[in-house]
Amino acid sequence: EPLCRSGVWRFHDLLPFAPPEKIVTIGEGQTILAPSDGVAKYIGLNPGQLFLQYEGMNPSGSFKDNGMTAAFTHAHTIGAKRAACASTGNTSASLALYCGVSKLMQAVIFIGSGKISYGKLSQALDYGALTLQIAGDFDDAMLRVRQVSEQLGIYLVNSVNPFRLEGQKTIMYRVLEGLDWEVPDWIVVPGGNLGNSSAFGKAFMELKELGLIDRVPRLGIINAAGANTLYQLFEVNGQRWNDGDIDRGAAANYYEELDKSHRRASTIASAIEINRPVNYQKCLRALDICDGVVREVTDQQILDAKAQVGAHGLGCEPASAASVAGAKMLSAEGVIAPSDRVVCILTGHQLKDPTATVAYHTTDQDEFNRVLGSRGVQRAEFANR
């Protein structure tokens, strides 16, 4: 019964690793696929062709719960008592919630210094996670948590964990369900640590092998311009994925360059402020399977797109809006056609990271009076922000 109420575990047949009696579920994955003609117009698509897969309705407010229930279940199956992650905020909120609700494990969380939004940090703290802010950013925290969990035998739930990706495949199952199993032309998703992208590619490969779909959609992975490793390696350097050795070489050289120049990831979309995506190799496979493309979008493009998502319902956090900004870019390039059916993944809830949103929307006296009439409000009533 509870398994049926989970948007992840009702696909248990496709996630056979989990013994049913060990499954830890808190009602994750009950999300919606919402058509949006308003956002379709913004992107440049015909009416009826855009769908927003809104993952903000998950218990911890982001898509991470899809993967966390699977990793957490595996951790429980092998008797883990502590689970750790590095995070830009959503993974940690999700892990902390599963630990808090189930009381099966202690959550151990590494975050970059001053890097995560207060909304997300407050979730981890409230749910009782042991939370450590380290000197450095997400990439440093990721490196550190891998060392620490290895040394101390703590179960690692970052998306290097393959069970995370198993759970996140169900996002695509639900998209297909919402479209009566008619495969869309495009899935567009923000790229950070590249867990989602990798999981989506695997999902489509498997569904095709099982004969449940007869073709796969194309994949658009969208980096923030200030955190654009995948874009640089895949699109700019033009390294292709057929020869794994070359890929590893290209990535290693690129990371060396990053180190030498002390270049750090930097974007308003804090969730995807990542320069060393742990799923890089897996993601190349997903790009291969789904004839994918990668684009980078600026912070301004992200915020503009986010405002459109807000104005037409739902809302989302900045990182999520990268998908809409990227779809708009691909549409302007003619890579996505107006008649294509496109699904943009909205990865996290609007309330997760509201600081940038408030700064973006300003109403000045002129605008106020334009709407309300010239006597609406006097100059003296305006406080400076």
Tokens 């750090």, located at residue: 264
Cβ(350)–Cβ(321) below 8 Å: no
| Interface residue with ligand F0G, options 25, 87, 223, 232 (CB under 6 A) | 87
Under the binding rule (CB under 6 A), the answer on residue 323 touching ligand F0G is: no
**Which residue, 129 or 194, has its beta carbon nearer to ligand F0G?**
194
Task: Tell me the chain's radius of gyration from C-alpha atoms.
Answer: 21
The CA distance from 316 to 271, in Å, is 12
Among 36, 69, 90, 232, the residue binding ligand F0G under the rule CB under 6 A is 90
Least Å from the CB of residue 93 to ligand F0G = 8
Please state the closest distance from residue 360 (CB atom) to ligand F0G, in A.
17
**Minimum CB distance to ligand F0G, residue 222 (Å):** 10
Please say which residue, 37 or 162, places its beta carbon nearer to ligand F0G: 162
Which parts of 131-160 interact with ligand F0G (CB under 6 A)? 159
Among the listed residues 62, 123, 267, 275, the single contact to ligand F0G using CB under 6 A: 62
Of residues 123, 228, 229, 347, which one binds ligand F0G by CB under 6 A?
Answer: 347
Which residue's beta carbon is nearest to the bound ligand F0G? Answer: 192
Q: What angle do CA 176, 178, 183 make, to 5 degrees?
A: 35
Count, residues near ligand F0G per rule CB under 6 A: 23
Task: Give the shortest CB-383-to-ligand F0G separation in angstroms.
Answer: 32
Interface characters, 271-290, with ligand F0G (x: CB under 6 A): xx------------------
Q: How far apart are CA 345 and CA 159, in angstroms?
A: 18
What is the footprint of ligand F0G within residues 171-190 (CB under 6 A)? 190
Note whether 228 binds ligand F0G by CB under 6 A.
no
Using rule CB under 6 A, residue 203 touches ligand F0G? no
Q: Tell whether residue 52 is a contact of ligand F0G (CB under 6 A).
A: no
For ligand F0G, which residue of 29, 59, 61, 89 counts as binding (CB under 6 A)?
89
Residue 317 binds ligand F0G (CB under 6 A): yes
Under the criterion CB under 6 A, does residue 117 sit at the interface with ligand F0G?
A: no
Task: With contacts defined by CB under 6 A, name the span among 26-34, 124-132, 251-259, 317-325 that binds ligand F0G.
Answer: 317-325
- Interatomic CA distance for residues 331 and 40, integer angstroms: 10
Binding positions for ligand F0G, rule: CB under 6 A: 62, 64, 87-91, 159, 190-197, 271-272, 317, 319-320, 347-348
